Structure 1
Amino acid sequence: MPVSAVPDTLTLTRPDDWHLHVRDGAALASVLPYTARQFGRAIVMPNLRPPVKTTGQALAYRERILAARPEAGQPGADFEPLMTLYLTDLTPPEEIRRAKEAGIVALKLYPAGATTNSDAGVTDIRKTYTTLEAMQREGLLLLVHGEVTDPAIDVFDREAVFIDQVMQPLRRDFPELKVVFEHITTRDAAQYVASAGAHTAATVTAHHLLYNRNAIFQGGLRPHYYCLPVLKREVHRQALLEAIASGSDRFFLGTDSAPHAAVMKEASVCGAGCFTAPSALELYAEAFESIGALDKLDAFAGHHGPAFYGLPRNTGTVTLKREPWTLPESMPFADEASIKPLRGGETLAWRQCNVV
């Protein structure tokens, strides 16, 4: 793709993160400020332990998030968490009306066993149909982790199989239900979303735009690049870049920033997830710049998501400056532990310098 002239500064509509993990307790207090200083709002994932399955649990979690925001007068003090419920085989349809009235915006579908804390997830999508009917009626969105968990299916093929086995029947049976195919990683998913109806969209992470699966193995096994869905072949990364370069409003920002203590990421059986919150916008800017599409970043980060969710855009702005800086290799996390961000210790080309 042709590379256009690169500006020295980028002023963006204050963006939102449409897929975020902030954990709870001391971990929440450690990581939330990184997101709050950049993003006006974020869709908060419900896969705590135990999961956030009821409206009451979601509202209590929201209060804990609000309490962890930066102090008044500091960047991010006005950050707004957008709450979700964890969909299970047994989520009662009557919970959907309560959720709607309380301001819950979506339910998250985790196929059982697909990722971190997903053991309570859905075992068969058909078991949730009465609840999905209520969601379609009330206007709540369905957010999907798009992988099958059949052990007979290769881990690199699970997203493509999910489209055939789950997404296509789901779209047929619930055509008015808004569905976000989260953290897509394949050409199959990018093409599916681009050709689906207006009620289907997708989030794309910075790490899936910047890296293919070679990154996990360069110079040894690199656990901080291990996430689910796992990084894929270069042909798939290129398809994601083409999707965002198209300017289609079906694709928008969702970091899937997933904090794990360094000791857990570097264990013999490591946690899945890339911690990108400290430099999320800078990483996206790098990805867009690599394809000469910096002019598309503003809409991707701050326009498409609110439009799909039926929410107003944020009124403020965030400015990035072309200024090399070194991302800290390690940061404090929770109870005297540490956490290592993706690209920690490396130099980034863009730096956030202002929020208005």
Structure 2
Amino acid sequence: MTTTLTLRRPDDWHLHLRDGAMLEGVLPESARHFARAIIMPNLVPPVVTARDAAAYRDRILAALPAGMDFTPLMTLYLTEETDPADVAAAHAAGLVTAVKLYPAGATTNSASGVRDFDKVQGVLDRMAEIGLPLCVHGEVTDAEIDIFDREAVFIDRVLDPIRRATPGLRVVMEHITTRDGIDYVRQGGPDIGGTITTHHLVINRNHILVGGIKPHYYCLPVAKREEHRLALRAAATSGEASFFLGTDSAPHPDDAKESACGCAGCFTATNTLSILARVFEEEGALDRLEAFASLNGPAFYRLPPNDGTITLEKDAAPVAYPARIETGAGPVTVFDPGMPLHWRVRP
């Protein structure tokens, strides 16, 4: 029986750190295990220019505790006013690693996102020329589309037309939640990859709704039927180069989650690697965890894998993770996978 597993140090290819007191409180939870992370730009106001990205990166680095090694990979928030020249200059300077597309209104702090996709075609063309990836929140926001169908409709109405209109554009379909998304990435060729979150490997929509509403399981895209969760697990544990870890760890204070209109997001930074080790062990795929968490993402982003390693060890006693993280912005509940976790990162 395997009781230790050494991996290249992993990266998180989709992370929310917020800002201010929340940033200071949650950053150590990611930096403890992850060497790099793609940082989401949906602040208020959003990170829309190179100057914004530089300032946000500086705030992240200033909040990083002494002795921790962590590199924030910055992104720009795509709007209908985004300047292609500013994007290209930020990429050339090594300041940004991707641009993020939020359909307007799709998720937290996405009101400044795109409504008319024709207005961003010039930016997308420039990105294709320079090889800068586009990260997409893959949901339509039309009121008449059922929330559980919005990812599949996005592929047909938005993502596939964008890719056909922009040959060579490199796209990451983030936080895939459906078999439709998995199939589309698999068939899309080398210019598309997909991130899969930790929590979508564990929960389906019943976990959110059966026996009472569970606000700390509510996220966007919302968890789907069990058949989709199983498709995600199969893809994540397959070793296929197109799929890699993006936790979408998204902290909100408990009073914002546990309210009449609770915020969307699961905070998984603290215990992600323990959860992943259990999932991969259940699927008989511990030997593929390194590909998913440490190798496939860097390969897609054309970055080297990390030099350092981490070692996971399995103990008879479950790991005792805190129920919540205390921050200056309020307590943040840690995602509860609903099962004991026996794998821990060796200190």
| TM-score bracket for the superposition, by shorter chain length | over 0.9
Instruction: Report which stretch shifted further, 254-263 or 119-128.
Output: 119-128
Secondary structure, aligned partner of 1:311: coil
Alignment equivalent of 1:79, drawn from 70, 87, 90: 70
What is the aligned counterpart of 2:345 among 337, 352, 355? 352
| Aligned residue in 2 for 1:306 | 298
Identify the residue that residue 20 of structure 2 maps to in structure 1: 25
Q: Please report how far the alpha carbon of residue 294 of structure 1 lies from its aligned counterpart in structure 2 after TM superposition.
A: 1.1
More displaced stretch, 237-246 vs 27-36? 237-246
Provide Cα deviations, 1:276-304, integer angstroms capped at 9, x if missing partner. Answer: 00111111112212211111100111100
2:116 paired residue number: 124
How far does the alpha carbon of each residue in 1:152-179 deviate from its partner, in whole angstroms, 9 at most, with x for none?
0000000000010111111211221110
**1:159 & 1:36 partners in 2: Cα distance?**
30
* Aligned positions of 1:331-342 closer than 5 A: 331-335=325-329, 337-342=330-335
Q: How far is 1:12 from its partner? A: 0.8
SS at match of 2:12: strand
Give the CA deviation at 1:346: 6.7
Q: Secondary structure of 1:10's match? A: strand
Give the drift of 1:92: 1.3
CA drift at 1:344: 8.0
Counterpart amino acid of residue 326 in structure 1: A
Instruction: Provide the aligned C-alpha RMSD in A.
Output: 1.3
1:276 aligns with 2:268: yes
Shift of 1:146: 0.2
Within 2, Cα distance between the matches of 1:183 and 1:312? Answer: 23
Cα distance in 2 for residues equivalent to 1:281 and 1:92: 38
Amino acid at match of 1:253: L
Separation (CA, whole Å) in 2 of partners of 1:221 and 1:48: 27
Counterpart in the other structure of 1:90? 81
CA contact (8 A) 1:176 1:199 kept: yes
The within-5 A match list for 1:48-63 is 48-63=43-58
Indicate the residue corresponding to 1:327 in structure 2: 321
1:223 match: 215
Separation (CA, whole Å) in 2 of partners of 1:133 and 1:351: 44
Matched residue type, 1:127: K
Alpha-carbon deviation of 1:15? 0.5
Gaps of 5+ in 2: none
Task: Report deviation, 1:334.
Answer: 2.1
Residue identity in the other structure for 2:167: P
Per the TM alignment, residue 347 of structure 1 is displaced from its structure 2 partner at its CA by: 3.8
Tell which deviates more after alignment, 324-333 or 178-187.
324-333
Q: Which runs of 5+ in 1 are unaligned?
A: 1-5
Percent identity over the alignment is 56
Residue 7 of structure 1, CA deviation: 1.1
Aligned residue pairs, count:
344
Contact conserved, 2:195 with 2:244, CA < 8 A, in 1?
Answer: yes
CA contact (8 A) 1:16 1:253 kept: yes
Are positions 1:102 and 2:93 aligned together? yes
Hey, what does 1:15 align to over in structure 2? 10
TM-score, structure 2 normalization: 0.97
Amino acid at match of 1:314: N
What is the rounded CA distance, in whole Å, between the counterparts of 2:20 and 2:338 in structure 1?
A: 27
Q: Is the contact made by 1:96 and 1:138 (CA closer than 8 Å) also made in structure 2?
A: no
Asked whether the equivalents of residues 327 and 347 of structure 1 are also in contact (C-alpha less than 8 Å), the reply is no
